[in-house]
A and B are shown apart, each in its own frame.
Chain A
Amino acid sequence: MTTFRRLLPLTFFSILALIAFWPSVPSFLQETNFYFASKPQIRSVISQQNEIIEPLIEEQAELPNPPSINWETKTTEQCIKCHDGIEVISDSHPAEIGCVICHGGNENSQIKKDAHSTLIYDPDWGTGKKNPSHIKIADKSCGQNACHYSSYFPDQNHVSRLKKSLMGTLAGVISGLRYQWAAQVPKTARYGVYPVENTDFQNTGIPFLEPLPFFSKTDWIRNALKNKSALKKGKLSRHIADDLLRKTCFQCHLDSPPPPGIFRGQGCAACHMPYAKNGLYSGNDQTIDKTQTGHAAKHKFEALPPNSTCITCHRAFANEKRLPTTNHSGSEKNVHFENNLFPGLGLPLQDLHFEKGMDCIDCHTSNDIMGDGNIYSKQHEAVEIRCQTCHGTYNTFPEVSEIIDPNDPAVIISKYYQDGQIQEGDILALSEREQTLSNVKMVDNKLSVIGKRTGKIFPIPMIHKSKNSHAIKAHQDKLECSACHSLWIPKCSGCHLTFDQKQEDINGNSWLKQNYQLSAEKPILMVGPRGKVAPMLAQPERHVSVFDKKGNPVPIINSQGDSVGNYLEKTFLNPEGYSGSHLAFSNFPHTVSSKARSCADCHMNPETLGLGAGKLIIGNNVSGKSDKMQYLNRISKLAENIDTPPDAYTTIKGQPVAGTTQKNTRPFNQEEISRILKVGNCIPCHEKPEDNIYDNMDKSYKFAGTNQHRQLRQKILKAR
């Protein structure tokens, strides 16, 4: 009661105030999102920041609304008069529907300029070739008429899914670099290549992404003049990471032009329009110059992209024939010895699945690749398949479900497959997110993968109750499969990024070309984002140099305006306080082999634990205080008087050295290092993983101290 009395005047005044300011309340509530409680509060933020000013130049046409198109009566397109002989794009987009519905343009004109005046394409990326499937404008072409956008079936919304996928937003790359170089504090993604918002936000993933801020005003002006169609205010971060991202990393974005010498499309076409290796057109359209590079091989969609399409971008991890030794331009110049400038370097072993004849898309579902409608900040969040999805675990078989609905997405998508169309009653495997895998089904009572492009049947070996180290309980709980089964991982040692304004190119890109040397290394292990031990993609020693036009290193100026060093070979520090130039990234190397690495490889080898090359010295002190590593590499000892060399990711005392950009990911700590090495004591005698001492390690350690074990050990020792 007393509280009520105390609150009474307050309530009174607030009611008074409410009445007084009534007209402004709804808008106030709206701004602070009390009003639409059900909607997340992002919408207003976005609209404020990206206040779009009317485009100055009409670059693309607004398509007529769906009801006005009646393609059964629409037969008088003039396009074909010039584009005689052009291929029909696909069976599901027959010639009858015409060109204009997808491409825009004036169908009644035969004058090129006039007919092309209202074509749909994205002028911002400037990749040309009037491609209507650019992500930004795909909703006007591919997405119109509820075809691939706002469809009744949610998984048919390809355009909106793709827009939010990682290949579209590049959120992982952006957040990774920005975090490591201390441009942003959280590890979660904040920025994308373009602004995007998840309207059907379901608490998985991130609600929205802002556009990447510009590095400098110069950069913003450049961009504004280039992308006149969407002139808007920009944020300036003045952080060098944003320039690097925009000028170099965006090259791998779905919408961007490919690097010189490599040919691919943009948007949907990046995957679904195969390009010839030389980038030449080989179809029958008379208007397309067959000597000019940059055209798709044919005006034809391919529902199931081949591996070569994926590898155009995902090169480093693909099973390339040979590890690249110099950069692309380097080998081009030395045409004479293109393949044997450095002879005898060998050929890395291929992934088992690849060797057997499986394609990228046989494992990776459409949800994996095109996104599932959520915005994610890291790749591992987006991918829905795991090894156990198909192979099961030691204790369980893979999850499966029966198809009941004839309109199930799996049934629809499987009509493009070479063989193995899904029918009602088929039993399919389920992914981590309970989605059916349309090509993993029971064939003759055996779960098998059916090659989407080949129709080949691959029976899946199950690891249920298999012997080997799968039976070890600790391994089941704490290891990703790839920790043991990945043979190698590419390592790029010592990137040196140089921003030299003397050598600025015509696009305003001052970042010099990188020469990298990749080598196949045994994976180092770390704790992955799912809390399990996973291989590490190690990228040590990355330096940045920034020079002005005269070639002098640019000074670093702090907020007080004082000079505090310069950008001659700068290394960074991430917000956690670990090295930002020294990345430990948990990764799944696609170099799987049926043969796992040996027990000693992890349990007796400090290098695998991320301690660096050198010799481990275990001290007498119980706390581990006197443990140390005698490192092979002594550069940092000499140059900076620091004990840890560039190839160490953590110290023997469990202090991380390298930074990580994924959440919950870290190199091993002291406890883990000592727990892993502890097992090394048993390995000399109990070398087989099936040995039942590994069932319960605590019990075994206790037994190891007993007299009985000592006697057993003595017996063996006597034999020497």
Chain B
Amino acid sequence: MKPSFFQKIILFSVSLILIVPFSLSFSGAQPFNYPYGSPFNLNKDYFKNKKSLLSERTAEPSKKETLNHSAINDKNFINQEKEISPKNNPSYNSQFFQEKRMTEIPDSPTVSDIDASNLRDPLLSVRGMDLNAEEVLSPGTTIDGIRFYSSDEIQSFVETEYRNSNFKIDDIYGRVVAYDKGQRCLTCHGGIEEISSNHRFSCTRCHGGNGRAYSKKSAHKKMVSNPSDLKHAPKYCGKCHADHINKVSNSSMATAKGQINLTRYNWGAQSLESPTFSLIPDGEKEEKLFPPEVPPEGQVELVDDFLQKKCLRCHIQSPSPHRPGEYRATGCASCHMIYANDGLSMTRDRAIQSKQREKVKKQNKPLSKKVAAKSFKNSRGYPILHKFSVAIPSSQCETCHHESGPGIEYEGLFKKPAREKPLSNSIDEDKPILFGSEHKFLIQDIHRERGMHCIDCHEGNELKNSKSTFPSKDLTVNPKCENCHGTHEKEPSEFLLVGSLNSAKQIIKKVSLNPNLKGKIKLGDLILRDDQGKLHSHIKKYKEQWILISKVTGKKHIIPILKDTKEPIAHSLKKHMSSIECAACHARWAYSEWGNHIILDNRPNLETWKNWSFSDPNLQQILFGKEKAFEPMPYINQDFNWLTATDSLNKISGRWQTGVWIELLSKASWDKMILGKNSKGKYSIFKPKKQYFISEISSQGEIIKSAEIPLLPDGNSGLIMTPYTPHTIRKIARSCESCHSNPETLGLGDPKLKTIPEAPSFFNGLTNKTPLPINFQLWQTVDSNGASLQSVWPLGARLLNSNDLSLIQEKNDKYRANRYLALRERGFPKLLSRDSFPFDIKHEANNKLYGNPIDNESSLMEETTQKDLDLIMQIIKKQEFISTSETLEGSTPQTIDSETSFFETQSQNPELSLDDVIPSLPDQNSQDSTSNSATSLKENVLPQNGWQSLSEEKTIEFLPPQNSP
């Protein structure tokens, strides 16, 4: 139906009325006031808009515009010239208005929003009025010889650091060949890379599926996206690589034997003699599958529940959460398919590309907390290229080995423990995080700094070791420093690659698989042979120098050989060399997690944990994910069972079971490096392995257990320390004092804190389940008599005894002499010849040159005017006027305090408040007046934009705590 001419006119005029004022107000022109009221018969909304416009302008000032703050302030503050016609306001129809009319009605007195115009440039008094602030703020600016930094832009730097994996595509994959032929699969997947030069098969040979199909659905029928998953591997990879598959299936990375059995032992659920559990049982040794079966609902043993919900996320068969740093595949591909930290691929496969484009659109900051919090709902990452590689960079290993140990240490990352953080969401959500948590940046391992990766020391076969870690004494991985660096007496031993030898042939074959070694190691070369007879194909002797060729980067690293270097004082001591692990002195810091308080909450009130920075994917999902599936928010009591996890394209699915585990570290430290003796009898750094405190809350909210320490089957405390090599090796070793006169290093406890004097009584306390003594510090491992307070794993290792303590603490002439020599080595005697201090002189000269800063504070101040004061007086008078007029009307005769009564009237007659836009202030005197209701409190917000406040009047309701979901 066409509108008639008459209708058109009406429409036009209406739109004119509607549009013109707004177009005027948004045109960016200088706001102005009509001295005699508005010609458009505007109501107050017009002025409201004008104000919001102003505040917008001040929030984002352009460079060309110079703002006159005082002018804006005044205008924002009050438009006194303007008098509002009472006709426009419906509330003026009341009888009350007749009296009100006499008084002048002031405009909204405040701008409640603090914007840029309310703030002074914080550096004005430092730099004076003329200098450009950017010069002061930019990093590296020098004032009086001092560098100033602004941390405004930390974020982007940190993100680059997280993103940077320090490897080149060429190094890792060698030549990249892309398929672009017209086969069926490649119709969609055109551009996909050749998996490796040794696997020139059709797609279906490894992936299954129907290569001749025309639709996606039929083509992907029975297709396996990851044939190297150990479920499928025997069928696909196993055809050729049966021995490898076998090895991997037996390795602790797949069976999780160490994790399961040690934790169960720690909690007293199994003894050393009882049969062990495994995820992939080995039929011959009659190992059990863990757990025997997953019960659909109901009770499992507490330790098994914990293992399933928390620990067993980290074996190569379980899918990893889809979040920054942890994108990876399963099975063989979990190591050999390289993923980037943000899970983004560089593949030319068109199908994958289009999928990924959607993801990138959704996540504009792929490393932010916002993304990490949705680890179950994010789509999975893709490997960087569809290519296998044996040149596996450290970042790939760290997708799993970031928890409590070597991975993050090697990178120089210090994981911040979960703590309550009231940061504004706007800062917090965008913070770059890796593995679910924020990190501090500490000094890296020297090998990392030089560009070496994990596999340059830890070799493949060692990682696929099938040795059991429980209850055996041996560690599975064990590279030694002296293998490469030798000792002062002996160089590393060499091995000549002779073509007739079988082992040499194997080496050459192995080398040819790695693009970085190919051609660099040839027959006739001298390679390294360690004390156990193992050959290291990437370390060779060349022109009297030992050279390590990095398997990941191909870079040549000259190995410093101890025999060629001058013997440092500490090395000249035979006892040091024979009885101390190298890392005990050369580790710069150690990431230790002290006291892991785990709370099984069957009825968690997650409101209380709202602001905590947990790294656990499930807790993150519940607390920050804001997923509809998890509502109602405050009472979700389900945790994810990782044994049932299956990975599909867009989510991780599996079973959710009652009871949420909340993990809290008492302390995470980098400076506590406590000594003990490892199973080889050498002094080594010990770190807390399992210091669990278990709490349990039933579904009724009762506390069943409150921070109990589990007991080992033999009755000892479940606080377990373990010898360990911190991956933070540096050339400069720790000082002599840090062991010989530092009780903390010896395990005697921090001297600033109270200590447990006698171990036996401490143990008695634990077994009787009395609460932990308040003066116990987790880093006290022995008492002054050398009796240990904590247990040790593996068997054979021990904490220091009285003999060791007295030996280390004893200071004889020999110690003194060596101490002096060590100081001399570090250059201390050079200080004796210093008698002038040029930097102090320079500093003083600078001070004189710059002089005292100018005291320009008074010029930066502004003063309120008499006008402002008059306004306040008016408000107060009016306030009184209302309260008195109220009493006159007789509705509320018992007005006591002027302010309280004002609020009461305001809430009763909302029309009244239209005239009185007064910042509401709660009267604290009213504590003793009974008018304060406890259940609901009317929040009288400062009027944000004049009249708007009325419509947005908020009520905060304090709900009584609910008891059950």
Contact = CB atoms under 8 A, between A and B. Distances in A.
Contacts of A220: 864, 868
B834 A622 contact: yes
A1 interface: no
A118 to B, nearest CB: 15
| Most chain A beta-carbon neighbours within 10 Å: one of B837, B866, B896 | B837
Interface stretch (A137-145, A438-446, A474-482, A508-516): A508-516
Contacts of B754: 346-349
A681 to B, nearest CB: 5
B776 A346 contact: yes
A719 B814 contact: yes
B820 A501 contact: no
Contact of B136 (A126, A237, A573, A633): A573
A498 B513 CA distance: 55
Contact of A577 (B126, B440, B588, B816): B126
Nearest to B599: A337
Contact of B441 (A231, A618, A633): A633
Given A600-B737, A671-B840, A225 B921 contact: yes
Interface residues of A, number: 170
B151 A604 contact: no
A330 interface: yes
B869 interface: yes
Interface stretch (B84-92, B113-121, B370-378, B540-548): B113-121
A326 to B, nearest CB: 5
A681 B158 contact: no
A503 B423 CA distance: 11
A569 B421 CA distance: 15
Interface string B351-385: 00000000000000000000000000000000000
Contacts of B861: 213, 235-237
A498 B424 contact: yes
Interface string A507-548: 110101111010011100000000000000000000101111
Given A545-B427, A571-B149, A578-B146, A655 B664 contact: no
Given A218-B942, A618-B827, A716-B817, A225 B875 contact: yes
Interface string A79-122: 00000000000000000000000000000000001000000000
> Range of interface residues on chain B?
35 or more
Contacts of B772: 340, 343-344
A396 interface: no
A216 B118 contact: yes
Nearest to A717: B817
Contact of A653 (B58, B750, B839): B839
Contact of A545 (B110, B136, B424, B771): B424
B123 A624 contact: no
Interface string A202-244: 0000000000010111101110111010011111111110000
B61 A563 contact: yes
A235 B918 CA distance: 21
Nearest to B814: A720
A631 B443 contact: yes
B720 to A, nearest CB: 14
A123 B925 contact: yes
Nearest to B141: A573
A232 to B, nearest CB: 8
A66 interface: no
B843 A669 contact: yes
Contacts of A306: none
A23 interface: no
A332 to B, nearest CB: 10
Contact of B753 (A232, A342, A343, A348): A348
B774 A181 contact: no
B104 interface: no
Nearest to B55: A548
Contacts of A664: none
Nearest to A571: B151
B105 interface: no
A687 interface: yes
Contact of B667 (A128, A240, A342, A639): A342
Given A560-B66, A632-B589, A634-B443, A343 B839 contact: no
Contact of B412 (A218, A501, A630, A634): A634
B707 A337 contact: yes
Nearest to B937: A506
Contacts of B157: 638-640
A348 B752 contact: yes
A224 B872 CA distance: 7
B502 interface: no
A-side interface mostly: loop
Nearest to B154: A639
B923 interface: yes
B109 A565 contact: no
A674 B831 contact: yes
Interface in B815-868: 816-821, 823, 826-834, 836-840, 843, 850, 852-857, 860-866, 868
A228 B61 CA distance: 37
Interface stretch (A31-39, A398-406, A551-559): A551-559
A654 B843 contact: yes
Interface stretch (B238-246, B289-297, B516-524, B689-697): B689-697
Interface string B558-599: 000000000000000000000000000000110000110101
A340 B730 CA distance: 37
B380 to A, nearest CB: 30
A53 B405 CA distance: 68
Contacts of A555: 59-61, 116
Interface in B783-833: 811, 813-814, 816-821, 823, 826-833
Contacts of B148: 573, 577, 579
Contacts of B957: none
Contacts of A344: 594-595, 666, 691, 693, 772, 776-778
A346 B811 CA distance: 29
B612 to A, nearest CB: 9
Given A520-B752, A684-B823, A218 B777 contact: no
Given A128-B928, A181-B122, A632-B589, A330 B420 contact: yes
Interface in A42-57: 53, 56-57
Contacts of A578: 146
Contacts of A221: 109-110, 868, 872, 919
A681 B828 contact: yes
B125 A182 contact: yes
| Most chain A beta-carbon neighbours within 10 Å: one of B147, B161, B860, B868 | B147
Contacts of B119: 238-240, 546, 554, 556-557, 567
Contacts of A228: 876
A556 B60 CA distance: 10
B140 A641 contact: yes
A217 B77 contact: yes
A467 interface: no
A131 B424 CA distance: 38
A181 B857 CA distance: 13
Contacts of B110: 217-218, 221-222
A342 B594 CA distance: 10
Interface string A407-426: 00000000000000000000
B121 A719 contact: no
Contact of B125 (A184, A568, A713): A184
Given A232-B869, A654-B843, 11 more contacts: A217-B864, A330-B420, A346-B776, A348-B752, A508-B919, A557-B117, A565-B137, A639-B157, A655-B843, A677-B831, A716-B813
24 contacts: A185-B856, A218-B114, A226-B921, A233-B866, A239-B119, A322-B774, A337-B707, A340-B693, A506-B939, A545-B424, A554-B116, A557-B61, A565-B137, A613-B671, A633-B443, A634-B443, A639-B153, A640-B150, A655-B145, A655-B843, A669-B839, A685-B816, A716-B816, A719-B813
Pairs of residues from A and B, 10 with the lowest C-beta to C-beta distance, nearest first: A346-B777, A577-B143, A126-B924, A618-B827, A346-B753, A561-B66, A684-B819, A564-B133, A344-B778, A238-B120
